[in-house]
Amino acid sequence: MPSPDEPTHLVTLAQWAQRHGLSESYALRQLPYQAENFPCPVTTRTLIRYQHPEPIDLPGHDLDSETTLTGFARILGVSAHLITQTRDKDPDLLPTPLPARARPARGRPTLRYRLGDLLAWWNNRPPITRGSVQVGLYDPAELAPFEPRRNKPVDLPGHDPRAEVTLGRFATLIGVNRSTVSQYKRKTPDALPDTIEGYRPDRLPPHTRAKFYLEDLLTWWNSRPGSVSGYRSPTGGTASPRQAPTSEPT
């Protein structure tokens, strides 16, 4: 959370990158070390790291069935201690148990819950704190010289937008050198679209000749930012974004 004395116009590099369509990894890990006279942060902010729960599903289970917390732990494949530990952190979040079937002869009754209610509770449990990290805050005016410029859009009339092409074939179609396109696979693979099979290019084995839909590559190519020097040639290349920059070219 920002402190009351912190200037409101300052931004993190991640926020600045998202605003201008840059890859976050490029803005954080490459640009500050490659660009000359890149500004230093004005101040820093402490961010608390949280690990949010991954929602799960239970196919094959009757969500209207009854179970105990121990039985729920067995269904999830986790320890009963983890379930009770999560319950004890905020007992008010636990769903209301079902009415007891009969009062036991001795001791407390075993609480039973609707499985669907426990699943909703588990998927919406509070995140776990994973420490803190210091992030730099920058003045957007000082970052302005490093904002990307837009590229000249490429269009391929007469071509099937659902055609399946490799990056090399795409380079041939738009009339640029293959290395101009393939460099992005090495520099910013997270910015490329999914393959036709739905795989992420950065998770494929090396030297895989992945195929993409032509329309996806056109959208990606036309949305990449330009040179951080303030201009770009038609065949130049720098970092690739997932989204087009929101700022207009100057």
Q: How far apart are CA 235 and CA 240, in angstroms?
A: 14
Q: Which of 185, 184, 177, 187 is nearest to 205 (CA)?
A: 185
> Is the domain defined by 66-125 classed in CATH 3.40.30?
no
Q: Structure tokens of 149?
A: 């410029």
Q: How many C-beta neighbours within 10 Å does residue 162 have?
A: 10
106-132 as b/e: b if 16+ CB within 10 A: eeeeeebbbbebbbebbeebeeeeeee
Q: Which amino acid is at 188?
A: T
> In CATH, what number does 152-223 get?
1.10.10
pLDDT on residue 242: 36
Phi, psi of 223 (to 5 degrees): -100, -5
Q: How far apart are CA 73 and CA 15, in angstroms?
A: 39
pLDDT on residue 107: 62
Spans of the chain, pLDDT less than 50: 1, 227-250
pLDDT digits (tens, 9 = 90+) for 219-229: 988 877 554 43
pTM above 0.85, yes or no: no
Decide if 66-125 and 152-223 have a common fold: yes
pLDDT on residue 232: 38
Q: Where are the domains of the chain?
A: 66-125, 152-223
Torsional sign, CA 16, 19, 24, 29 = negative
Q: Where are the alpha helices (DSSP H) in the chain?
A: 13-20, 24-29, 31-34, 69-76, 80-89, 115-123, 140-143, 167-174, 178-187, 214-223
Q: Which amino acid is at 184?
A: Y
